[in-house]
């Protein structure tokens, strides 16, 4: 068996495990009633949004890392591993969850003001 078939099998197994876990969790939340199901759905959507956004950043990092390895520029590869935006992921995750919670209580003013302040701080740098 080639290594690409083995890697593909591992990825299929991972994907199936995620899907089965999400299906079971959704089923359990649905049995608890509409309010717990809505709470679960909100949490799931925030998780998916953060996961997909961070996955897009990881893809860019993978391309940079592969390029460095291909060119045998291991210094660049090391910089990608240690200095890519991975350090910001926990902060991004907390920000998305916090925004989602404020949306949940309809505090759109806080979200708007915080985004304006963030924009002003970035523009000022």
Instruction: Give pLDDT tens digits for 56-109.
Output: 777 777 788 788 888 888 887 777 777 675 666 676 677 767 777 776 666 667
The pTM of the full predicted model, rounded to 2 decimals, is 0.50
Identify the helix (H) or strand (E) that includes residue 48: helix 34-70
Q: Domain limits of the chain?
A: 2-123
Q: Which residue has the higher pLDDT, 123 or 48?
A: 48
> Is the Cβ–Cβ distance between 53 and 100 less than 8 Å?
no
Alpha carbon distances (Å) from 90 to 51, 63, 95, 108, 124: 11, 22, 9, 23, 24
**Spatial distance between the Cα atoms of 116 and 20, rounded to a whole number of angstroms:** 40
| 21, 33, 54, 77, 108 from 38: Cα distances, Å | 18, 9, 24, 43, 19
pLDDT at 30: 94
């Amino acid at each position: 068996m080639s290594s690409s078939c083995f890697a593909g099998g591992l990825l299929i197994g991972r994907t199936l495990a995620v899907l089965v876990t999400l299906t079971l969790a959704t089923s359990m939340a649905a049995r608890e009633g509409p309010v717990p199901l809505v709470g679960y759905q909100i949490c799931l959507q925030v998780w998916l949004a953060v996961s997909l956004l961070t996955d897009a950043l990881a893809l860019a990092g993978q391309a940079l890392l592969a390029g460095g390895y291909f060119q045998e520029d291991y210094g660049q590869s090391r910089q990608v591993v240690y200095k890519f935006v991975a350090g910001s992921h926990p902060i991004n995750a907390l920000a998305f969850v916090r925004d989602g919670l404020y949306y949940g209580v309809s505090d759109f003013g806080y979200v708007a003001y915080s985004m304006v302040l963030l924009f002003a701080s970035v523009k000022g740098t």
